[in-house]
Amino acid sequence: MDPKGFFVYWINQSKETTFLDVATIRDTRTGKYAKLPKHPKVRNVFNLDFPDSNHLAKTLTIVSGPDMVNLTYHNFFASKEKVTQVINRCICVVADNHMLVHLYSRYPCFLLSGSLFFFSIYKMFPADKKRVESALAAAQLPKGKYDTIKPDVFTETAFRSFMTHLCPRPEIYEIFTSYSTKPTMTKENFTKFLNEKQRDSRLNEELFPRLRQDQIKALIDKYEPLSNNSNRGLISPEGLLFYLMGPETTVVMQDSLAKCQDMTQPIPHYFIKSSHNTYLTAGQFSGVSSPEMYRQCLLAGCRCLELDCWKGKPPDEEPIITHGFTMTTEILFKVDVIEAIAESAFKTSQYPVILSFENHVDSVKQQEKMANYCKTIFGDALLTEPLDKYPLKPGQQIPSPSELLGKILIKNKKGSHEKPAQNKKTAAAAADQTAAAATNAQAPNATSQDEANPAATTPENQDENEKPQAGQEVTAYEAMSSIVNYIQPNKFISFENARKKNKSYVISSFVETKGEAMIAKSAVEFVEYNKRQMSRIYPKGTRMDSSNYNPQPFWNVGCQMVALNYQTMDFPMQLNMALFEFNGRTGYLLKHDVMRRNDKKFDPFCDRIDTVVASTLTIKIYSGQFLSDKNVKTGVEVEVIGLPGDPKKKYRTKWSTTPNAINPVWNEEPFVFEKILLPELASLRIVVHEENGKFVGHRIIPLDAIQSGFHHICLRSESNMPLTLPALFVYIEVKDYIPAAFKKLHPNLHRPLMPLTSLHQQLVQKKLKRRKKARQRRFKLIKLQLMQHQTQEAPHLKPSLKPLLHPRRPKQARSLNRLLKPKKNQALSLVQTQSLHLIRKRKPVQLQNLLKRLLLRPFPLQQLQPLSLLDQVTHLSHRRAAKVTLQHVMCCTHHSFPFVNTLWIKALWQG
């Protein structure tokens, strides 16, 4: 990064920080003059007097701040370029370690370079001074106003003792006593706690086996503070507390934070992190434009940036970036913006960057400048020609993010490459048109431009029924058109027209109001449109304060580029930042299967999705830690954000009984969100407020990334920055949704139908060993005939299919008996008769072979299409927490019970 300059500090050999006189050079970041040292000794050390010293390559600027606008610059100057590069890499490794920010530790880090004064501790915990003094005294640490604590006294053990007395945790002892009435918990009870509370009930034990005894012993040794207890395999309440604050109990699955999604799908199959009017730092009408916003957005993982390009003024005639017809400041297209993008484009993510040009430059010469700047500064990173495998043809999809690694794509109107003689005439018409747009912008009843005029193309940031805000976009001349390929904006006409043309490289932009109207009127068609090509949503022009709209409805219909104002950290922006933290902060998130497949249609307003198992989320808020710097009452609000059919109720705890911001406890019933239709598209939001309504902290987590169990959730600020101390202790459980009617009729449906464990299998084998010989001779002929029939019709099937549905479990057999039982006045089919007979008689071998035969042909009596059910079960079998249970299929099929188990086994077997 280029330096902000102004101050330079130099550390000499005596390691004393000395302020030096400075000289000035031009700073490429701001176009102003920065400062460099004047001192002869310093200039000699850094070779500043040599013409080839390359000063800027030796500078390093560390930018920090609470958001993307209010930034602080820390500038450094090195003697060699290599030193700057090494420091830069080391800092980026720490800053980009997104795993660390999701870990919670109640023990903040102290830099004990010297004596620690008491008032430093009080400043960290200002909510209750008396409690801090009492905790220091209980930990046998000095507590006087001017006392100091030496590093050899303030050890980790002393600090833990201090924190334990400062923030007691009665809720932890309550949980502990529910599993052990003694002062310590045995390894067996601890194992029971881990299996019942900390393990996801949906996990398949074959794919995700339970913790081994040596692993549980390792956890006890790691977290139990007393060696006597750990040697005997015991854990105390303090050890349980330390375990619940460790990395093993993070609320977010660590695997989902890393790049874990398929990046080989076409780009329209992804949500893309997008910015609107990227250059602005404040409102849309007045404020400062800054190239630093481009750096910050790219470093935050943003993959789509917007550039409002306008004609530069004489004598330089350099194109500028600004918000037209407003009082916002101007920045240079080349020196400020393009160079800033080239510096930071691929520091956080290597996946393609899309530059969305809103081109108002009506000069052929200046458009040629813009194209040349992009080619020379971006170099090979700029994609100027389509890939050979993906020509620009109707019906042909565009490349995937993995095939465009390190590439920059230009989104700009593509002209018709008119002859030079016509260019002058068109340029003059465009100039007249821009002037007319400026005049019409002030008129109350401005009319749209004549569509017959080739230069009067519809601007991107203009609704059909709205007056232009910043003038019309002009014709793209040959230079700019030549660098546009896979992202070609075009005016949207209709879904039917887009379906017929089927041009995946054409993108349409919609103002939020028009997008909402299209969702309300044609949601299913909008989803189908977004399967083939891309759409970009941007805020309406009346949001002069740079506020944002809710992006969730547009994600629900598959819109790829939901562009937001990154300078405003409101709720929509918090939701956007939280969602794109996952998949390695690549800026690309793969859409759900129902939003990508051409053979499926998805309605976001539906109340049931055939191929998806709905989820039920249960959360209990136990306590908070260090929520506020004041001694006030606090409360927690919980909600789920997802599809329109998801639970909309917001749950709120009562205010804490006493003013206590250090360790408030809420003893209330759990909050239950039933039937979350599409868990992969839903998020859990938790917000903490003071009694006076002041915001304390929040956290937004995608539902599909939540781990069940007890967790400490580290809260975030309004700008989504991790807070040092504030946290919530909660219990979260995510289960598959079971309708209340099925729960009442079939209370045993929660029992899993899955392969037997080895111990259970041995017991069953011993129990059936005596019956096996007698049964074998009796049914030998029938078994042989069934196997021959199977081999003739499907020779590729395995002769011995491991029975996933074990008919010798009495409760499961009774459940299947009830399922197969027909309604009144309804005759039994042959399949139902055979199945009922085999289930009632509990004939496992015959039932197994019958199911094999049923695999060979479809059934006309099935009320639901087999493909839908097959997709349902295939999805289950590949899920992270897949556990095949009978309620999965029951909730999906309703009345197709005679054929459920057949397709179910088939899907699992093939998967």
> Where is the binding site for Ca(2+), in residues?
277, 306, 308, 358
HEC per residue, 850-876:
HHHHHCCCCCCCCCCCHHHHHHHHHHH
98, 102, 269, 323: the catalytic one is 323
**For residue 571, what are the contacts with CB-CB under 8 A and spacing of at least 6?**
548, 550
The residue written with tokens 């606008």 in the block is 69
Q: Which two tokens stand for residue 204?
A: 């398949």
| Closest to 783 measured CA to CA, from 687, 847, 692 | 847
- Asked if residues 280 and 546 have their Cβ atoms less than 8 Å apart, the reply is yes
Quick check: is 888 catalytic? no
Tally of helices (H runs) and strands (E runs) in the chain: 29, 31
User: Which tokens belong to 655?
Assistant: 């205010």
The secondary structure element, H or E, covering residue 437 is helix 420-440
Nearest CA-CA partner of 682 in 698, 706, 662, 708: 706
CA–CA distance, 459 with 656 (Å, rounded to integer): 53
Tokens read off for 610? 């055939």
- Alpha-carbon distance of 124 to 629, in angstroms, equals 9
CA–CA dist 862, 854 (Å, integer): 13
Which contacts of 772-776 are long-range, i.e. CB under 8 A and separated by 24 or more positions? Answer: 775/845
**DSSP secondary structure, 808-831, as one string:** T-HHHHHHHHHHHPPPTT-PPPHH
CB-count burial class (<10 Å; 0-12, 13-18, 19+) for 508: middle
When computed from its CA atoms, the radius of gyration of the chain, rounded to whole angstroms, is 33
What values do phi and psi take at 295, rounded to 5?
A: -65, -45
Hey, what are 194's tokens? 């881990």
CA distance 405 to 687: 37
Q: In the numeric block, which tokens belong to residue 355?
A: 């530059």
Name the active-site residue from 74, 98, 165, 276.
Answer: 276
Largest CA distance in the chain: 105
Cα(1)–Cα(546) distance, rounded to whole angstroms? 27
Cα separation, 505 vs 392, in Å, equals 7
d(CA 162, CA 137): 8
Q: Which residue has the tokens 């090195």?
A: 78
**What residues are paired with 729 via a beta bridge?**
623, 712
Binding-site residue numbers are 277, 306, 308, 358
Q: Which run of H or of E encompasses 730?
A: strand 722-736
Asked if 66 and 721 count as a contact pair (C-beta separation under 8 A), the reply is yes
Residue matched to tokens 């639901």: 864
Q: Is 323 a catalytic residue?
A: yes
Residues 6+ apart with CB under 8 A from 519: 526, 553, 554, 556, 557, 604
Measured distance CA(566)–CA(562) in Å, rounded: 12
Within 10 A of 152 (CB to CB), how many other CB atoms are there? 7
Could you tell me how far CA 418 lies from the centroid of its own chain? 45
Query: How many CB atoms neighbour CB 566 within 10 A?
Result: 28
The answer to whether residues 800 and 855 touch, using CB atoms and an 8 Å cutoff, is no
Using CA atoms, how far apart are residues 565 and 572, in angstroms rounded to an integer? Answer: 10
Q: Which two tokens stand for residue 554?
A: 């547009």
- The answer to whether 689 touches 633, Cβ cutoff 8 Å, is no
- 188: CB partners within 8 A, 6+ apart: none
Amino acid code (one letter) for 825: N
Q: Name the residues annotated as catalytic.
A: 276, 323
